[in-house]
Structure 1
Amino acid sequence: MSTLPDLPLPPDPKLAQNITHFIRALRKAGLPVGPGRTLDAIRAVEAVGFTQRADFFHALQAVLVSCPEERLIFAQIFRLFWRDPRYLEQMMSLMLPQIRGAQTDRPADAGEKRAAEALLDGQLPPPPEAAPREEIEIDATATISTTERLRHLDFEQMSIEEIQAAKRVLATLSLPVRPLPSRRSRAAVLGPQLDPRRTLREAMRRGGEIERIARKAPLIRWPNLVVLCDISGSMSDYSRMVLHFVHAVANRHGPSGSKKAQAWGQVHAFTFGTRLTNITRHLRARDVDAALAAAGQEAQDWSGGTRIGASLLAFNRDWGRRVLGQGAVVLLITDGLDRDETGQLARQMQRLQLSCRRLIWLNPLLRWTGFAPKASGIKAMLPYVDSFRAAHSIASLEALAKALSDPHDNGERARLLQAMAQER
């Protein structure tokens, strides 16, 4: 990290209020800082003092930054918030290309954009009226690298513009699935199986003489897709992007019996936080914004608490038999951070796995290097899933196709179960 200039901070009788406002900006930019962190930050500043800018910076960083990935956004918001005029002008020029201020040759990254958007809170000054319009020439040679970077960028670290671009990419994705053989059959001239009944019926019409052997082929059917999406506070940013992806899948699947590779029998979607909500009918709307707006009004517990065990109990009791037939595949999107009693959670996970063909758990916490199943909820759920994969970027959602096409794919499940066994 670069060395901060050793400048004394001006005395301010409202330092506590400014720290609170600063932490609010961090929360808008995606850092998980709550009211408890505010008190800790104020106490840390009281203990360290704030006569030196570097001491003030490191005291706040020690309290408010939880992982290395958050340091960049913290540093950008700190410099922008605590009165660095040159940096503020640079951020304004980033948000409004018409403003010609202090610019550097270094391209602005996602952390800088998120910092500017969090502090400006969407309130941008009007552009100059007399500013001449310029024709911008786009170099197509950088398109591939930009698209690749967007595919692997964390949803939580995206700027507003990048989120819109990611939604457009998600709308084009498909989720291929292989058809399942059915016990029923259909008449086929070159079918692989003999059809004795049809052969004898045709023979009876001809006085018992068999002229040809009838043959048949098995029918194929498409499994259902059931999505259970966590919309609690810790999952809200990821669940919105995942639901955009589910909307695209729900509006692209073919009817039963379709020969298209991405066809599903039916697509059912449920959200849960403190309660279970069926949003299947809302996702049938063609317009994704209207569909998610209606789903948000239906799900009153958006960005609230988490009760995974109780929500799975409600699903297994009220909806399991209706939607899990015909070899359904279940996508469970949650971070597994449940504070309820883990015994019920384990029982409901086991029942869910036994009721479906495959249970795939998508967890955004897998984006962290060295992720380990420490939380009790994750330990209770992990043994009852068939595949455990990440869900924090476009690339991670694209990798779902691999999990569905390979019946032996288990993602990170085997490695994490081994880690749990070693702890015991």
Structure 2
Amino acid sequence: MQPSGAPAADSEPPAGLLDGQSDDETAVRQEGRIRAGWALGHDINSGLPESFPAWLLAIHANSGPFERVVRRGQRRGAAVAVDWSKTLKRWSRRGHSDASLVWRKTYQGPGAIAILWDVSGSMASYVDWYFPWLFQVARQRKDVRVFAFGTESVELTPYFLGSYQQAVAAVYAQIHLWGGGTAIGQVFSQWHKAYADQLLDPAARIVVISDGWDAGPPEYLEQVMLRMAQRAREIYWINPLMVTPGFEPRTRALKIALRYTRLMTAGATIDDLRRLTWRWGLEV
């Protein structure tokens, strides 16, 4: 049995995804605009859980079959580089240079995690599933940052530092953000301009939570996904619609995303979320 709020595998497939039409056709483009503008100007459809869900608290009590990639306090796998100082000394002793190099191991920290969470109208029914998990994830390390977006982005990280109830109240107050339209490429471009220098480096991860319905020009998303992929270690895309039977990523945004993401997943079960957070070296 799925916890309350989890994406349902037997839910009605979105029109335009399973009807055989390509995303180049007018019907699918129109469907995307409609979904990207659902509930414009209204509050969250499903609401945030008033208390921290028992299913998320129970995760720590169940070890599960998954091996963690990085444990707290552990160094990640070594990267190898030439130690030029020792190499030159070796060559000096031998009186000539050759192909004999001295190598050294360098260790890279876990890196920042930037989470871009779509809270537009078409994602409203999944808010109560992802919000408690994000609350827990954001409290793991100072370099985990959460941003909610629709037609603009707002950082939610500071709201997650107090109690869960305080976080719910603070996030509800951002009424201008919830249930509006979606302009993924434009918002990501603005976010990249504002935060890339702070957060992105070869160790950083970017996590996108979105169904991929985008009312904006696709070229914006193509350009910014390329820039983000060049600056970050890897990009993950969580799409709750992937639990729909027969789902295929036919929207332009998802086709673009597939070219730049390490993994696209639904994040629709407790085990899905555990695998993701363990992959990132977190405890959730």
Name the TM-score class by shorter chain.
0.5 to 0.7
Deviation of 1:221 after TM superposition, in Å, equals: 2.0
CA distance in structure 2 between the aligned counterparts of 1:331 and 1:307, rounded to whole angstroms: 17
Q: How do residues 14-413 of structure 1 correspond to structure 2 at under 5 angstroms?
A: 69=11, 164-169=53-58, 178=70, 179-180=75-76, 218=106, 220-253=108-141, 266-285=143-162, 287-298=163-174, 300-325=176-201, 327-401=203-277, 404=280
TM-score, normalised on structure 2? 0.63
CA distance in structure 2 between the aligned counterparts of 1:384 and 1:315, rounded to whole angstroms: 17
CA distance in structure 1 between the aligned counterparts of 2:244 and 2:195, rounded to whole angstroms: 34
Distance 1:344 1:400, change over 3 A: same
* Greater Rg over alpha carbons, structure: 1
Gaps of 5+ in 2: 14-44, 87-103
> When the two structures are aligned, how many residues end up with a matched partner?
218
Q: Which has the larger helix fraction?
A: 1
Structure with more relative contact order (C-alpha pairs < 8 Å, separation 6 or more): 2
TM-score, normalised on structure 1? 0.44
- What is the match of residue 117 of structure 1? none
Which amino acid letter does the alignment assign opposite residue 134 of structure 2? V
| Contact kept in structure 2, 1:182 and 1:218, CA below 8 Å | yes
CA distance in structure 1 between the aligned counterparts of 2:280 and 2:231, rounded to whole angstroms: 17
Distance 1:347 1:172, change over 3 A: farther
What's the RMSD between the two structures over aligned residues? 4.0
CA distance in structure 2 between the aligned counterparts of 1:330 and 1:316, rounded to whole angstroms: 11
Which amino acid letter does the alignment assign opposite residue 280 of structure 1? T
Deviation of 1:247 after TM superposition, in Å, equals: 1.9
CA distance in structure 2 between the aligned counterparts of 1:182 and 1:288, rounded to whole angstroms: 37
CA distance in structure 1 between the aligned counterparts of 2:255 and 2:224, rounded to whole angstroms: 14
Distance 1:320 1:182, change over 3 A: farther
Distance 1:326 1:380, change over 3 A: closer
- What is the match of residue 26 of structure 2? none
| Contact kept in structure 2, 1:363 and 1:390, CA below 8 Å | yes
Which amino acid letter does the alignment assign opposite residue 223 of structure 1? G
Deviation of 1:365 after TM superposition, in Å, equals: 0.7
String of CA shifts for 1:175-209, please: whole Å, max 9, x gaps.
955344689xxxxxxxxx9x97xxxxxxxxxxxxx
Gaps of 5+ in 1: 1-28, 31-66, 72-155, 184-192, 197-215, 254-264, 406-424
